[in-house]
Amino acid sequence: MGVLWTFLLQSLCSIVRHSRFLADRFIEGICPFCAFEDARGDQCDHCCRLINACELISPRCKLCGTSPEIRTSKHIFLNLPKLQPQVETYLKSQFGKEDCYWSHNALAISQSWLTEGLKERCITRDLSWGTQVPLEGYDKKVFYVWFDAPIGYVSITANYCKDWKKWWMNPDEVRKHNLKFCISFDKVCLLA
């Protein structure tokens, strides 16, 4: 329903010892939105915008400092614009709700993301570790950590703790880590 098949340009470090696709966090450069000089390949910590690594200006490999080479690789994208009406409906249902566990800050940031308009987001990576994509033609692909996280967090806790519900159903102990991903993107992934 919400998956779009397409191609993504990804960065590849050109040094022989790193001759592999790099994880987003191993690519740094200048943010194309606010010009922050130390933005990472997945987001800018200055303006909080999500970034695709190839959008960075003057990208560099965090491991060796060289300029990465761009290569084309087939990936799976989540069609977030198609899911935006459902996300907006859900978010509106949380505003003003007496038992809402979302903080005002989380609601405001999520609303600003929707106001900008959701964009397609890649949910696979060319990495040697992670959850394998179980589709023909994607045998060397894994799911991006932020895509499988909403299920992974709860399932891992449930697998290892008898009282796992205390971790996930206590609104007094809700904390933020990365609002763009942990609040907004997680909800979209679960809807998809």
Closest CA to 66 of 9, 109, 27, 119: 27
- The encoded tokens of residue 78 equal 């989540």
Listed by start position, the domains of the chain span 1-79+120-143, 81-117+148-192
**Higher per-residue confidence, 24 vs 145:** 24
Q: What is the pLDDT of residue 46?
A: 93
- Give the pLDDT confidence of 47-87 residue by residue, as tens digits: 888 888 889 999 999 988 888 888 888 888 888 888 889 88
Contact between 102 and 94 under an 8 Å Cβ cutoff? The reply is: yes
Let me know if 109 is exposed, middle or buried by CB neighbors in 10 A (0-12, 13-18, 19+).
middle
- Give the pLDDT confidence of 123-150 residue by residue, as tens digits: 888 888 888 999 998 888 998 877 777 7
Could you tell me which residues come within 8 angstroms of residue 108 by beta carbon, excluding any fewer than 6 positions away? none
**pLDDT for 176 beyond 70:** no
- Give the pLDDT confidence of 90-128 residue by residue, as tens digits: 888 877 777 776 777 777 878 888 898 888 888 888 888
Fold of 1-79+120-143: Methionyl-trna Synthetase; domain 2 (2.170.220)
Residue 122 is which amino acid? C
Strand order in the sheet with 27-30: 39-40, 27-30, 57-61
pTM over 0.85: no
Let me know if 139 is exposed, middle or buried by CB neighbors in 10 A (0-12, 13-18, 19+).
exposed
Q: pLDDT band at residue 177, thresholds of 50, 70 and 90?
A: low
